[in-house]
Amino acid sequence: MSWIDTLPHATVADGIVQYFAPVADELAALEQDGVVSPLTQFGLIRFRGEETATFLQGQLSSDIRQLDTGVAQYSSYSTPKGRMLASFLIYKLGDDYLLQLPVELQASIQKRLSMYVMRSKTKADDATLDVALIGVAGPKAATLVQAVTGALPVGDFSVQNWEGGATVALSGGRYQVVVPADQAAQIWQQLLQAGAKPVGEPVWRLTEVRSGTPWVTAATQEEFVAQMANMELIGAVSFSKGCYPGQEIVARTQYLGKLKRRMYRVRVDGAAQAGQDVFSPEMNGQASGKVMLAAPAAQGASEALVVVQMSSLEHGLHLGDLNGPAVEVLDLPYVVA
Judge residue 292's burial from the number of C-beta atoms within 10 Å of its C-beta, 0-12 exposed, 13-18 middle, 19 or more buried: buried
The pLDDT tens digits of the residues spanning 217-237 come to: 999 999 999 999 999 999 999
| Alpha-carbon 304 to chain mean position | 13
**Whole-number pLDDT of residue 253:** 86
The pLDDT tens digits of the residues spanning 255-269 come to: 877 789 999 999 999
State the Cα angle at 326 between 324 and 332, rounded to 5°.
130
φ, ψ at 306 (rounded to 5°)? -120, 140
pLDDT band at 101; cut points 50, 70, 90: very high
What letter would DSSP give residue 71?
Answer: B
* Res. 119: pLDDT tops 90: no
Residues in the chain, total = 337
**Whole-number pLDDT of residue 151:** 85
**Whole-number pLDDT of residue 291:** 98
If phi > 0 it is left, if psi is from -120 to 50 it is alpha, else beta; for residue 320 that is left
Q: Region 102-120: what's the mean pLDDT?
A: 95
What letter would DSSP give residue 228?
Answer: G
Q: Region 259-281: what's the mean pLDDT?
A: 97
What letter would DSSP give residue 182?
Answer: H
What letter would DSSP give residue 158?
Answer: B
* Res. 16: pLDDT tops 80: yes
- Residue pair 70/169 in contact (Cβ under 8 Å)? The answer is no
The pLDDT tens digits of the residues spanning 141-183 come to: 999 999 999 989 989 999 999 888 999 999 999 999 999 999 9
pLDDT band at 337; cut points 50, 70, 90: confident
Nearest to 251 by CA among 66, 82, 78: 82
**Whole-number pLDDT of residue 255:** 80
Question: Which pairs from 190-196 meet CB under 8 Å and 24+ separation?
Answer: 190/148, 191/36, 191/134, 191/136, 191/144, 191/148, 192/36, 194/143, 194/144, 194/147, 194/148, 195/33, 195/34, 195/140, 195/144, 196/33, 196/34, 196/35, 196/36, 196/136, 196/140, 196/144
